Amino acid sequence: MNKQEFLIKLEKGLNGLPKADIEERLVFYSEMIDDRIEDGLLEEAAVEEIGPVDSIISQIISDIPLTRLVRDKVKPKRSLSAWEIILLVLGSPIWLAVLLAVFALLVSVYAVMWSVIICLWAVFASLLGIALGGILWGVANIILGNGIISIAVIGLAFISIGLSIFVFYTCKAMTKGLLLLTKEIILSIKNSFIKKEAA
């Protein structure tokens, strides 16, 4: 892919963003390719070294704040006529209630996912506390002469340590997954604003 094809594909992928942002990114990547060509690379190699266009587009979209996309999208392109305003006002008890219900449902599902992860981290902390307390109690009772029960408690403490290791990696993976899901949700919301604007 040469420089011109790269820039055309990049511009098509960014279609829907504010024009100033598109121009700024096109100039930036054009200069980046030119710098690499000046350093002795062939045009195709310079373009290839920058990376795939789709990942660059995703990175650019994720860097733009959602508030700016919403603000640019909400700006009216034309004034509303009187009958459109009347329909919006008369229909607002229905569409506003449905919109709020959907929003509340999505927020509650997201909050439930985070609360499950918080509960798992609490289980991890509890298992560590049980392990530490069990070892201390077992050692103290061995010193006092209660050997059999103390050995059993220390054994249970080591089981708690093993379970806490398992729960730790589970919690870590679930937290990482939910953070990635959050990033993907925000990126898809941004993409929906961009696609609507491009249409």
Q: Where does 63-194 show beta strands of DSSP type E?
A: none
Domain ranges of the chain: 3-64, 91-198
Is residue 152 a contact partner of residue 95, using CB atoms and an 8 Å limit? Answer: no
pLDDT band, very low/low/confident/very high, at 125 (cuts 50, 70, 90): very high
Please check whether residue 29 is in contact with residue 2, taking contact to mean a CB–CB distance below 8 angstroms. no
Q: Which pLDDT score, from 0 to 100, does residue 100 have? A: 94
Q: Retrieve residue 25's tokens.
A: 């990114």
Tokens 């100033």 label which residue? 20
What are the angstrom distances between the C-alpha of 22 and each of 15, 57, 188?
Answer: 8, 11, 19
Q: Which residue bears the tokens 């290839």?
A: 48
* 53-86 confidence digits (pLDDT tens): 888 888 887 777 777 766 666 666 677 788 888 8
